[in-house]
C-alpha cells in the first residue's frame, strides 16, 4: 500500500462511526481545475452574486498553510499529526512538489479567486506562536505558525485579490510595537485563537495589546468555543465566550470566529453577549465553519437572529471547505437549510473550487424565510470604516 493509500485507510478508520464527519464525498478532494467546466458561469453561481457588489466582498477568514520547507515564514511543528496534516494539504491542493508546497498553496488559492468577479478578495491570516505568561515563545505548544512578514508579502504579491490579517500574541514583550508595525504594513485585522495560543483574555499581560488595538483601530478576529483543528496549547478553559467581556469592557472591536458555535452552550453564550446593548458597536461574528458537519443545528440558530445580519461577516475558514469529511450537504438538506436540488452541483463545485463552493453554499442557506443578506458578504465596509 502506498503512502496515500495507507493514510486513507487510517483516515477512514479514524472517521468511521463518527457522526460528526461525513464520507458522502469520499476522503480526499479531487483538486480539479478551477477553470474547467466553466463552473463560475453556472446559473447557481451567477445567482449567488446577484445583489452583491463584488468589490465589497472580502472573505475574512482564509488560512495560509504549508510545510515550512521554503524557509519563507511558514513554520510547522515536527510533531504535527500526520493524518490531519495530509487532509489539510489535500484540501489546499498543495501538490506533490514538497520543496514548493507553500508556493503551490498560494497559486491554487489565486487560481480559485480567478473564478470570482473582479474586486472580490480573500483576507490571509498570519498565525503567531504560543507564548507563556513569562513572555517566552513556546514552540512545543505551537502546532504551526505563519509570520506577519509572510502574510504581508503574499498579500502584496496580488493586491487585487488579497488583504491580510496579522497575528501578534499579546504576551509578547514587543506586542504593542509588533501591532503598530503590522498596521503600518497594511494589516486590516489581528487574529487570536486563545485555546490554541494559550491566551487568557483576563490576564494583565494582554493590556498593552488591548491598548494598542484601540489606538490603531485594529479589530480582533478571535476564536472562542472549542477548537478541534489546531490543538496547540490545548487550553479548553480559555475558550469560554464570556471571557470576551474583558476586552469588550476595554473597548476592543472584535469579530468572533464561527460565532463561537462549537461546544455545548457556547453559541448561547455568544448570543447573550450579542444581546447586550453595550457591545452593539464592538461585537460581531463571522460565519465561517458554521456549515461543517460537526455543527449541526447551528445555521438555523444563527438565521433565527435577523437582528444580527449587519453584525455578521462571511468567512470560509479555507482550506477547511476542501476537507471532504468535514461537510455533509445531504445533512444540511435534511436539516431544511439547503435546497436538495442544489446538492449535486455544489458537490461538483467543491472538488474544483472549495473557496467558491463555500461562498455559494452560504448564499443558498435559508431557514423559515431568513437568509444571509448582502451585508454579511459585503465585509469590506467593516475594515475600511473611519475610526471613531
Core vs surface per residue 162-197: b (16+ CB within 10 A) or e: bbbbbbbbbbbeebbebbbbbbebebbbbbbbbbbb
- Domain of residue 85 covers 34-383
Give the tens place of pLDDT for each residue, 277-293. 999 999 999 999 999 99
Average pLDDT along the chain: 93
Tracing cell 512578514 back to the chain, one arrives at 149
Cα 201 to Cα 198: distance, rounded to the nearest angstrom: 9
Banded model confidence at residue 20, pLDDT cuts 50, 70, 90: confident
Closest CA to 229 of 84, 32, 36, 115: 84
Q: Is residue 24 part of a domain?
A: no
CATH number, domain with residue 255? 3.20.20.140
Three cell numbers written together for 347 = 458537490
Q: Half-sphere exposure (CA, 13 Å, Cβ side) for 7?
A: 14
Give the tens place of pLDDT for each residue, 208-264. 999 999 999 999 999 999 988 888 888 999 999 999 999 999 999 999 999 999 999
| Whether residue 18 has pLDDT greater than 60 | no
Give the tens place of pLDDT for each residue, 22-76. 899 999 999 999 999 999 999 999 999 999 999 999 999 999 999 989 888 999 9
Give the tens place of pLDDT for each residue, 334-362. 999 999 999 999 999 999 999 999 999 99
Q: Is the peptide bond before 315 cis (omega within 30 degrees of 0)?
A: no
Residues present in the chain in total: 388
Give the tens place of pLDDT for each residue, 67-88. 989 888 999 999 988 888 999 9
Q: Half-sphere exposure (CA, 13 Å, Cβ side) for 160?
A: 7
Helices (H), 50-201: 82-91, 101-113, 148-157, 175-184, 194-197
Q: Is residue 177 part of a domain?
A: yes
Q: What is the pLDDT of residue 355?
A: 98
Q: What is the pLDDT of residue 317?
A: 97
Number of domains the chain contains = 1
Helices (H), the chain: 3-15, 43-49, 82-91, 101-113, 148-157, 175-184, 194-197, 207-216, 245-249, 266-274, 298-303, 329-335, 343-352, 354-363, 374-377, 380-383
Three cell numbers written together for 167 = 497575528
| Whether residue 274 has pLDDT greater than 80 | yes
Q: What is the pLDDT of residue 341?
A: 98
Q: What is the pLDDT of residue 71?
A: 80
Contacts of 19 (CB under 8 A, 6+ apart): none
| Whether residue 1 has pLDDT greater than 60 | no
Whether 367 contacts 336, CB under 8 Å: yes
Contacts of 342 (CB under 8 A, 6+ apart): 44, 364
- How much is the pTM? 0.94
Q: Is residue 17 part of a domain?
A: no
Q: How far is the CA of 130 from the CAs of 135, 220, 299, in angstroms?
A: 9, 17, 32
Strand 162-165, strand 312-313: pairing: unpaired
Q: Is residue 11 part of a domain?
A: no
Q: What is the mean pLDDT of residues 377-387?
A: 85
Give the tens place of pLDDT for each residue, 89-138. 999 999 889 999 999 999 999 999 999 999 999 999 999 999 999 999 99
Whether 299 contacts 332, CB under 8 Å: yes
Q: Is residue 15 part of a domain?
A: no
Amino acid at each position: 500500500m502506498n503512502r496515500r493509500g495507507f493514510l486513507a485507510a487510517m483516515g477512514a478508520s479514524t472517521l468511521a462511526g463518527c457522526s460528526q464527519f461525513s464520507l458522502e464525498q469520499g476522503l480526499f478532494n479531487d483538486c480539479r481545475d478551477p477553470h474547467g467546466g466553466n463552473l463560475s458561469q453556472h446559473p447557481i453561481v451567477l445567482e449567488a452574486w446577484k445583489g452583491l457588489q463584488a468589490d465589497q466582498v472580502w472573505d475574512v477568514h482564509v488560512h495560509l498553510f504549508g510545510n515550512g520547507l521554503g524557509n519563507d515564514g511558514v513554520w510547522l511543528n515536527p510533531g504535527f499529526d500526520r493524518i490531519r496534516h495530509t487532509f489539510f494539504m489535500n484540501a489546499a491542493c498543495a501538490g506533490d512538489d514538497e520543496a514548493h508546497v507553500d508556493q503551490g498553496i498560494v497559486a491554487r488559492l489565486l487560481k480559485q479567486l480567478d473564478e470570482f468577479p473582479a474586486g472580490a478578495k480573500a483576507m490571509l491570516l498570519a498565525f503567531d506562536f504560543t507564548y507563556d505568561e513569562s513572555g517566552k515563545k513556546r514552540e512545543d505548544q505551537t502546532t504551526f505558525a505563519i509570520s506577519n512578514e509572510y502574510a504581508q508579502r503574499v498579500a502584496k504579491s496580488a493586491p487585487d485579490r488579497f488583504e491580510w490579517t496579522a497575528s501578534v500574541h499579546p504576551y509578547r514583550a514587543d506586542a504593542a510595537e509588533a501591532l503598530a508595525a503590522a498596521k503600518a504594513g497594511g494589516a486590516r485585522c489581528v487574529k487570536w485563537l486563545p485555546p490554541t495560543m494559550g491566551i487568557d483574555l483576563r490576564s494583565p499581560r494582554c493590556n498593552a495589546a488591548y491598548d494598542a488595538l484601540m489606538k490603531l483601530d485594529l479589530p480582533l478576529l478571535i476564536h472562542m468555543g472549542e477548537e478541534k483543528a489546531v490543538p496547540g496549547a490545548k487550553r479548553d478553559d480559555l475558550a469560554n465566550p464570556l471571557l470576551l467581556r474583558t476586552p469588550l469592557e476595554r473597548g476592543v472591536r472584535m469579530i468572533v470566529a464561527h460565532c463561537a458555535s462549537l461546544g455545548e452552550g457556547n453559541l448561547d453564550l455568544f448570543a447573550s453577549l450579542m444581546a447586550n446593548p453595550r457591545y452593539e458597536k464592538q461585537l460581531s461574528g463571522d460565519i465561517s465553519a458554521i456549515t461543517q458537519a460537526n455543527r449541526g443545528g447551528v445555521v438555523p440558530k444563527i438565521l433565527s437572529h435577523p437582528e444580527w445580519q449587519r453584525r455578521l461577516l462571511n468567512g470560509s475558514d479555507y482550506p477547511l471547505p476542501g476537507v471532504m469529511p468535514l461537510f455533509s450537504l445531504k445533512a444540511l438538506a435534511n436539516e431544511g437549510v439547503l435546497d436538495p436540488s442544489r446538492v449535486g452541483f455544489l458537490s461538483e463545485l467543491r472538488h474544483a473550487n472549495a473557496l467558491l463552493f463555500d461562498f455559494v453554499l452560504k448564499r443558498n442557506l435559508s431557514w423559515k424565510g431568513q437568509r444571509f443578506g448582502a451585508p454579511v458578504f459585503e465585509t469590506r465596509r467593516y475594515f475600511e470604516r473611519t475610526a471613531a
